[in-house]
Structure 1
Amino acid sequence: MFHKEGQKIIITTFFIVVAIVLAAHFYVDLAWLRISIQVLALILLILILQFFRNPKRLVTPNFDEVLAPVDGKVVVIEEVEESEYFKDKRKQVSIFMSPLNVHVTRYAVSGTVTYSKYHPGKYLVAWHPKSSTENERTTVVLHTPKFGEIGYRQIAGALARRIVNYAEEGEQVAQGQDAGFIKFGSRVDLFLPLDCDIAVKLNQKVVGAKTCIASFRKQDD
């Protein structure tokens, strides 16, 4: 299954690859060169298909956990001062996605979208410390009735040139539901309450809508 954001690119690439393969077949006499061109064209198509894959992941909403919003590797776990929306200290967990990862963004929790804003910006490499505040990005905040507000930020990287964000203020969303897409290498930051328990470690690989990023202590603990 492929993500709807890749439909135009996949169709365009398919016809380009077919044209290249046919042109090589009819107009390139050297066998090794003809085969090389055809193989490279097919590899390009395979790479595009794998990038836009969108595996179905069934989620049973768990209101005590924050699930990974994307596939990738945990590159930051730290306490930060979040200045755009919360304007207070938060636990930040950042997940870096390589071009080989699934790039679908999924809602980490169930709740109501209270904030959704796009910011144009630079295209620093996604692991750069300033990418969270200087790169092209979108910031989304979800209100959960039980644990308050949780934020996440989609960040474009050096290769990513388009962020797709489906979150609309006032919308009710479910944990694991499709929240957007980031094209070609990027990062997502989670901004969590200080009283949550982080369940992942640096450099750990996580799976969107599957891996628990953090859990919350009961208010009466």
Structure 2
Amino acid sequence: MTSLNWSDPPSQTAFPVAKAGYPFIYASIFVTVVFALLGVGPLAVLGLFTTGCVCCFFRDPDRLIPTGEGIVVSPADGKVIKVESIEQTPYYNAPCYRISVFMSVFNVHVNRIPHEGTIRQVRYHPGKFFSANLDKASKENEHNALLLEGPSGKQVGFVQIAGLVARRIICTVQPGDVIKRGQRFGLICFGSRLDIYLPRSTEIAVAVGQKVQAGSSILGRW
């Protein structure tokens, strides 16, 4: 049985929200209050509904993280849309497996570190905004690629990819940072995708169509 622990301190609120969502929430509340003061009831109700949707989108629930050597967890909530073996990629320096997780607007969009270790590279690339479930999104969309080296020397690559609606990628780690498995490291606003690159020695634990949760779902082991 896999044991669990916290990678980040648990929140002190019943409904934790990511800090990046505060400006959107405050703006929605402000517009709602203006409509209410003007007596425009239908728009005030619409604004209240929109505020609730924005709060829901930026929710940031605590997660218990699996412990154990060689475990790689999902960096994102969503649906696995691709599991494949590839020979070369600009995001990993050897033949590897790629697992793609698609996040709809209904998923939690806070991203978490897939394995403990040291961040070796962070590379941001501006780009287009195709639907994140398309193959060309990996190369052509706006994305932020990270390379992590674990204590054993094995590396994990993971790429935040903006989608059709997403227009902002947030990443809070830098090269040289020592991080924990399951630790929060960023967020992609309003629909997106995460690609994870793992060494060929990894025993893959997920399949296409499976739903996963950031930090708590195991993608593979080595």
TM-score, reference length from structure 2: 0.89
Paired residues of 1:152 and 1:189 also in contact (CA < 8 A): yes
- Point out the structure with the larger helix share: 1
Cα distance, 1:44 vs structure 2: 0.5
Question: Paired residue for 1:205?
Answer: 211
Q: Relative to structure 1, is the Cα distance of residues 82 and 3 closer, same or farther in structure 2, using a 3 angstrom cutoff?
A: farther
Q: Does 1:66 align with 2:69?
A: no
Q: Does the 8 Å contact 1:108/1:175 carry over to 2?
A: yes
Residue 55, structure 1, aligned to residue 70, structure 2: no
Match of 2:148 in 1: 142
SS in 2 for 1:59: strand
Offset from partner CA, 1:135-183 (integer Å, 9 cap, x none): 1001001101225111100000000001011121111000111110100
Identity level (%): 37
Q: Aligned partners of 1:203 and 1:49: how far apart in 2?
A: 27
- Which 5+ residue runs of structure 2 have no aligned equivalent? 1-15
Q: Which residue does 2:157 correspond to in 1? A: 151
Confirm or deny: 8 A CA contact 1:110 1:144 kept in the other structure.
yes
Cross-structure match for 1:120: 126
For 1:5-84, what aligned pairs fall within 5 Å after superposition? Answer: 5-23=20-38, 25=39, 28=40, 34=41, 36-59=42-65, 61-84=67-90
Report the RMSD for the aligned CA atoms in angstroms: 1.3
TM-aligned CA deviation for residue 43 of structure 1: 1.1
Size of the alignment, in residue pairs?
207
Cα separation, 1, equivalents of 2:89 and 2:73: 23
> Structure 2 counterpart of 1:64, which letter?
G
C-alpha separation in 2, matches of 1:60 and 1:78: 24
- Say whether 1:103 aligns with 2:109: yes
Native 8 Å contact 1:135 1:157 kept in 2: yes
Runs of 4+ displaced beyond 4 Å: none
* Deviation sequence 1:23-51 (CA, Å, 0-9, x none): 2x2xx5xxxxx3x3332221100110001
Letter in 1 for 2:28: T
1:16-74 CA distances to partner (integer Å, 9 max, x unpaired)?
11112232x2xx5xxxxx3x333222110011000111111133543321011111000
The 10-residue stretch of structure 1 (130-139 or 51-60) with the greater mean CA deviation from structure 2: 51-60
- Which blocks of at least 5 consecutive residues in structure 1 are unaligned? 29-33, 217-221
SS in 1 for 2:65: coil
Q: TM-score, normalised by structure 1?
A: 0.89
Find the counterpart in structure 1 of residue 6 from structure 2. none
